[in-house]
Amino acid sequence: MTKFQSLGLEQPLLQAITDLGFETPSEVQEKTIPILLAHETDMVSLAQTGTGKTAAFGFPMLQKIDIESRTTQGLILSPTRELCLQITSELKLYGKYLPGLNVVAVYGGASITEQAKQIKKGAQIIVATPGRMKDMIGRRMLDISKIEYCVLDEADEMLNMGFYEDITDILSHTPEDKCTWLFSATMPKEVAAIAQKFMDQPQEVTIGAKNVGADSVSHEYYLVNAKDRYQALKRLADMHPDIFSVVFCRTKRDTQKVAEMLIEDGYNAAALHGDLSQNQRDLVMKSFRTRQIQMLVATDVAARGIDVDDITHVINYQLPDEIETYTHRSGRTGRAGKTGVSMVIISKSEQRKIKAIEKIIQKSFIQKEVPSGMEICEKQLFHLANSIKDTEVNHDIDPYLPKIHEVLEDFSKEELIKKVFSVEFTRFYNYYKKAKDLNVGGGNHPEDREPAKVTEDSTRYFINLGRKDGLQWMDLKDLIREVTELPKDDVFHVDTMDTFSFFNTDSKYVDLVIEAFKGVQFNDRRVEIEISKDRGGRKFGGGGRGKDKGRKKGGFGKKGGFPDDRPKFKGKSRRKEEWPKEKGTGGKRRRKR
């Protein structure tokens, strides 16, 4: 008796197993199959990817359904079209000695009428993606009211992809007394909640440690001024030359705009949103799958069900309106055993949203700095070196080589390397050499501030707190306002150094300020405050870091503040080769919401 036989499987299936060359059942199969064969029960089965879960539910389902009948008795929901097709073909192999077995795959992006036709012929088992399934139910193209077994395969993935509502809807069309079998690689809270909601005293099989979440994704945020959002996005992309990412925006309009700007700036980008036709969307997805597109800018709705593995980065250009949606977004990366990064670009007012998201995902964000121009140049340089190293020589250029040699004959290898690299480097260098620090509080740059009023009547103070205390100028300003209870505009020119800082107030507040700071402590240290002789205003004081060099000083109030989070889009189009200036040319076009 083979091991498979001892699990309770019958001859036609055993024969197929032999044909498949499966010798021994995997652990999840060994534990799950006997239970499912022997009992009419709900089941939660947790095991890593690649451990043979398809067979663990496939064989019992095939053995339990009535092949003579043409009623649909088994429904398998899976997150992606690929998986749906894969499961369907596996089941057909498992059931090859079951005459009359009809397994039909139902998934988006293919003819719905064709799928309906196949089901009409009598499909005992339907394997479906939730979106298309819901569609077909709505159009009364199939009947799942007599389902006996329902499998939620890769439940964690389905939830990550935002299919919760679809699943709920689909299950409401199935009978109460069916058996529900849930398979998942991980058991995050959301999956546990589904099990709770849709299952009745499920048996539980767990292989290995119960994995509570996708630890394959790390979460980062970048704090910038709202007006610098787009520049930050570009830097993040430039810092990762091999990026393969989904960039999430809140609205269709922003999605389109950001994609257009990226394309103008020479990135391989495209937009994916609901205003595109199905055909356009298919084309975009095809180019994304084949990596012709490196940055897919998408709305949440359109990105639902993106079934592309290997996405290296999810970039939250804007946070979603509903923070719960964040999980769906970040779940697009770190799939199939890979690791991924979910990056969030936020402005100061959104910081508390990060806290709220951390509660939901039960993981901490790492605050990262938007890379500086020079860091990017360096990165690109080494990326170029490595791609030259890995490039396969194209022998079609052979005939031209003698001429090329002639042109370059006066140069040594060293000189040639310098020249080759200069071609690429200069482009980035010219673009980034004057680039400012985009991090909020990342330096003391006047552009970041609201217009300040330096009057003859203002007083400059010295305070013994600085960056070493973890304070950037905005934090310090908040702190000063907290202590003094002065209005926002009455504390200005806050310049943080490493161990001390300066700030100004209107001279009429001098007594108030000095008084207010009496006895104040910060991290167990007495806060000291003195009136500085320096009037302040148009300089940073000492201690400028290397980074600050070359930065234009002064210029307060030139730019005016941006009152809200709306990204300001450039009005004019640029040629691709021409790298844009760091700053937008103004915000004429406004986003309507």
Closest CB to Mg ion among 79 and 536? 79
Q: Are 156 and 184 in contact (CB under 8 A)?
A: yes
Distance in Å, CB of 26 to ligand ADP, minimum? 5
CA–CA dist 118, 83 (Å, integer): 19
Distance in Å, CB of 156 to Mg ion, minimum? 11
Distance in Å, CB of 52 to ligand ADP, minimum? 3
CA–CA dist 497, 542 (Å, integer): 8
Sites for ligand ADP among residues 536-555 (CB under 6 A) = none
- Residue 50 binding: pick among ligand ADP, Mg ion, none (C-beta 5-8 Å cut-off by kind): ligand ADP
Distance in Å, CB of 9 to ligand ADP, minimum? 11
Residue among 6, 18, 19, 50 that touches ligand ADP (CB under 6 A) = 50
Residue among 2, 26, 312, 532 that touches ligand ADP (CB under 6 A) = 26
First to last CA, the chain: 68
DSSP string, 123-182: -SEEEE-HHHHHHHHHTT----TT--EEEETTHHHHHHTT-HHHHHHHHTTS-TTSEEEE
Closest CB to Mg ion among 31 and 53? 53
Closest CB to ligand ADP among 21 and 487? 21
Strands (DSSP E) found in 393-527: 458-463, 491-496, 501-506, 521-522, 525-526
CA–CA dist 330, 316 (Å, integer): 9
Q: Does 22 bind ligand ADP (CB under 6 A)?
A: yes
CA–CA dist 341, 434 (Å, integer): 28
Tell me the site size for ligand ADP, rule CB under 6 A. Answer: 12
The number of CA neighbours under 13 Å toward the Cβ of 259 is 25
**Residue with tokens 């001279």, as numbered in its chain:** 507
CA–CA dist 417, 284 (Å, integer): 38
- Residue 26 binding: pick among Mg ion, ligand ADP, none (C-beta 5-8 Å cut-off by kind): ligand ADP
CA–CA dist 47, 500 (Å, integer): 55
Tell me the site size for Mg ion, rule CB under 5 A. Answer: 1
Q: Which stretch binds ligand ADP (CB under 6 A): 18-26, 319-327, 523-531, 575-583?
A: 18-26
Task: Return the SS3 of 458.
Answer: strand
Q: Does 570 bind Mg ion (CB under 5 A)?
A: no
CA–CA dist 442, 306 (Å, integer): 36
- Give me the 6-45 binding string for Mg ion, x by CB under 5 A, dash otherwise: ----------------------------------------
Q: Which stretch binds Mg ion (CB under 5 A): 50-58, 65-73, 110-118, 364-372?
A: 50-58
CA neighbor of 319 nearest in space, from 248, 260, 409: 248
Residue among 14, 44, 55, 123 that touches ligand ADP (CB under 6 A) = 55
Residue among 54, 72, 256, 318 that touches ligand ADP (CB under 6 A) = 54
Distance in Å, CB of 565 to ligand ADP, minimum? 41
Q: Which stretch binds Mg ion (CB under 5 A): 46-54, 59-67, 120-128, 485-493?
A: 46-54
Distance in Å, CB of 54 to ligand ADP, minimum? 3
Residue among 31, 53, 250, 273 that touches Mg ion (CB under 5 A) = 53
Strand partners, 439: 224
Distance in Å, CB of 192 to Mg ion, minimum? 19
Distance in Å, CB of 154 to Mg ion, minimum? 6
Q: Does 484 bind ligand ADP (CB under 6 A)?
A: no
Distance in Å, CB of 25 to ligand ADP, minimum? 5
CA–CA dist 449, 220 (Å, integer): 25
Q: Are 383 and 239 in contact (CB under 8 A)?
A: no
CA–CA dist 158, 335 (Å, integer): 12
Closest CB to Mg ion among 53 and 235? 53
- Residue 342 binding: pick among ligand ADP, Mg ion, none (C-beta 5-8 Å cut-off by kind): none
DSSP 283: H
Kindly state the tokens that stand for 330. 């970040």
Residue 382: Cβ within 10 Å count: 10
Label each residue of 299-316 as H, E or C.
Answer: CHHHHCCCCCCCCCEEEE
Sites for ligand ADP among residues 29-48 (CB under 6 A) = 29, 47
Measured CA distances, 9 to 37, 57, 93 (Å): 8, 12, 15
Distance in Å, CB of 277 to ligand ADP, minimum? 34
Binding site residues, Mg ion, CB under 5 A: 53
Binding site residues, ligand ADP, CB under 6 A: 22, 25-26, 29, 47, 49-55
